[in-house]
Amino acid sequence: GTDLRSADLRGANLYGTNLRSADLRGANLYGTYLRENLKCDGKFNHITNIGSENGTLEMYSCGSGGWLIIRGCFTGTKEEFLAKVKETHGDNDHAKKYSAIIELFCN
């Protein structure tokens, strides 16, 4: 639940850190180590007013390690996010929008 909005975390080693519920909006995660083989490379996308709560979906590229996805209290990989979306929304319109956005921006 830590407030890290707009924090400069460039190059920080956050491996093993529990970022669930952390507010990372606007944080600079360039070069940040988040977990094994997950180091952000600076590419970042965000979509606002999405989901059942009209929140913000943040997508950080971590090079060959994949993507870090942040949405509300969720922080995890692209695969973990899509699994959570399926668990939470099933096959409803929110799930379809999330999947389409991830497909468009996280490839």
- 62-84, pLDDT tens digit by residue? 877 788 898 988 888 899 999 99
What is the C-alpha separation between 80 and 57, in angstroms, rounded?
14
Residue for token pair 């913000």: 56
pLDDT at 95: 96
Higher pLDDT, 76 or 42: 76
Question: What is the structure's pLDDT at 80?
Answer: 92
CA atoms of 1 and 5, how far apart (whole Å): 11
**CB neighbour list of residue 60: distance below 8 Å, 6 or more residues apart:** 29, 40, 43, 44, 67, 68, 69, 70
**Phi, then psi, of 29 in degrees rounded to 5:** -105, 15
Work out the percent of the chain whose per-residue pLDDT is above 90: 35
